[in-house]
């Protein structure tokens, strides 16, 4: 039987091979993985662990928080604040940044996360996950503030997610491809199952919330209408649809077998660029997709090149198999050219 490669061994060997993972970053990734193990255990308890249902509170997004949203957020904060690898953290569940308390050593990294993506799936036992992004503190010795977090996605030094589904699987990149690790509950460690994940350039599977169709901009409607026309339409082939309502699960499917995921801007709240958050959902997922050979745009530009202006800013997301994302982006360009 081939030898199991643990996350720790993978990170040590990657550091030896290409130096992408300095010791402090390796520590950070291992601490995040351990936190995800704890979150997985809480999620798996379900109704047996009194972790279900609403927390009777709202987050900065104005969304009702689930008990597990808050539990997952606290697990990540408590696991990471004392290690000396971080200067600060930012979370979908916290209005402002969390500066590492003075009683702990300050590190050179910033950790951003959506502690539990797909919360609406918790009470119906459908996959959810934790999404994380790692930035470096800008090179100056002043204390950390929100402006330090406002870096484009192309500045990330690590990104990943942990999906809590039939398996608990950690997926990460440090800029040298995408690796997947499944939690071996008997050993209590994440074991390498796939490295150098590659997304096919073409697909026959798309993911979008079809109930919003009447609100979409014309290029998205044109693209989806062509998919729905199937082999008798301009695409000359049939397409299948999936929508898990947890970005982490839809992205995981695309990394495993290709596809296109869209949560585009729509007319319901025209002042917002989209529903999904740039810093701790779109940026980490876009880097993973690009590292696996896919593409990620907001319809107009590469998501990773967007310069953020607010910590919780939203963005339109079109990501996945390169040829499909290029097509949707081209339809947006054609519309812009006509204006």
The phi and psi torsions of 262 (rounded to 5 degrees) equal -135, 125
* β-sheet with 98-99: strand ranges across: 98-99, 86-91, 109-117, 128-136, 158-164, 168-173, 178-184, 189-195
Helix (H, G, I), strand (E, B) or coil at 105: coil
Q: How far apart are CA 248 and CA 160, in angstroms?
A: 10
Under the binding rule (CB under 6 A), the answer on residue 130 touching ligand AFP is: no
Nearer to ligand AFP, 88 or 264 (CB): 264
Under the binding rule (CB under 6 A), the answer on residue 255 touching ligand AFP is: no
Among 57, 209, 238, 307, binds ligand AFP (CB under 6 A): 209
Helix (H, G, I), strand (E, B) or coil at 58: strand
Please check whether residue 129 is in contact with residue 164, taking contact to mean a CB–CB distance below 8 angstroms: yes
What mask of x and - would describe binding to ligand AFP in positions 216 to 245, judged by CB under 6 A? -----------------------------x
Among 5, 22, 63, 308, binds ligand AFP (CB under 6 A): 63
Under the binding rule (CB under 6 A), the answer on residue 93 touching ligand AFP is: no
Q: Which two tokens stand for residue 259?
A: 């596809």
Under the binding rule (CB under 6 A), the answer on residue 57 touching ligand AFP is: no
Under the binding rule (CB under 6 A), the answer on residue 247 touching ligand AFP is: yes
CB of 228 to ligand AFP, least distance (A): 18
SS (H, E, C) 256-277: HHCCEEEECCECCCCCCCCCEE
Among 158, 162, 220, 246, binds ligand AFP (CB under 6 A): 246
Under the binding rule (CB under 6 A), the answer on residue 276 touching ligand AFP is: yes
Decide: residue 254, CB within 10 A, 0-12 exposed, 13-18 middle, 19+ buried: buried
The secondary structure of residue 101, as a DSSP letter, is P
Nearer to ligand AFP, 90 or 100 (CB): 90
Among 59, 73, 91, 119, binds ligand AFP (CB under 6 A): 119
The phi and psi torsions of 39 (rounded to 5 degrees) equal -65, -40
Under the binding rule (CB under 6 A), the answer on residue 117 touching ligand AFP is: yes
Q: How many residues bind ligand AFP (CB under 6 A)?
A: 12
Site residues, ligand AFP (CB under 6 A):
63, 117-120, 209, 245-247, 263, 275-276
């Amino acid at each position: 039987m081939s030898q199991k490669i643990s996350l720790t061994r993978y990170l040590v060997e990657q550091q030896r091979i290409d130096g992408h993972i300095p010791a402090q970053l390796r520590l950070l990734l291992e601490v995040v993985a351990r936190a995800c193990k704890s979150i997985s255990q809480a999620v798996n308890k379900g109704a047996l662990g009194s972790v279900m249902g609403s927390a009777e509170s709202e987050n900065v997004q104005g969304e009702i928080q689930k008990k597990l949203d808050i539990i997952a957020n606290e697990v990540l904060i408590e696991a990471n604040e004392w290690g000396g690898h971080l200067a600060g953290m930012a979370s979908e569940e916290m209005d402002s940044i969390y500066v590492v308390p003075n009683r702990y050593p300050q590190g050179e990294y910033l950790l951003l996360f959506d502690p539990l993506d797909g919360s609406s799936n918790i009470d119906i036992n459908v996959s959810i996950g934790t999404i994380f992004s790692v930035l470096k503190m800008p090179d100056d010795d002043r204390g950390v503030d929100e402006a330090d977090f406002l870096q484009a996605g192309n500045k990330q030094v690590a990104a990943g997610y942990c999906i809590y589904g039939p398996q608990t699987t950690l997926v990460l990149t440090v800029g040298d491809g995408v690796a997947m690790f499944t939690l071996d509950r008997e050993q209590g460690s994440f074991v390498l199952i796939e490295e150098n994940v590659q997304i096919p350039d073409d697909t026959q599977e798309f993911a979008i919330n079809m109930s919003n169709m009447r609100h979409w901009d014309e290029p998205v409607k044109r693209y989806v209408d062509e998919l729905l026309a199937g082999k008798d339409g301009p695409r000359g082939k049939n397409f299948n649809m999936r929508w898990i309502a947890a970005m982490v699960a839809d992205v995981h499917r695309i990394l495993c077998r290709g596809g296109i995921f869209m949560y585009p801007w729509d007319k319901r709240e025209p002042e917002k660029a989209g529903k999904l958050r740039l810093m701790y959902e779109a940026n980490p997922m876009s880097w993973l997709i690009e590292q696996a050979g896919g593409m990620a745009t907001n319809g107009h530009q590469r998501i990773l090149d967007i310069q953020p202006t607010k910590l919780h800013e939203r963005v339109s997301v079109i990501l996945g198999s390169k040829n499909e994302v290029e097509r949707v982006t081209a339809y947006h360009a054609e519309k812009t050219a006509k204006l």
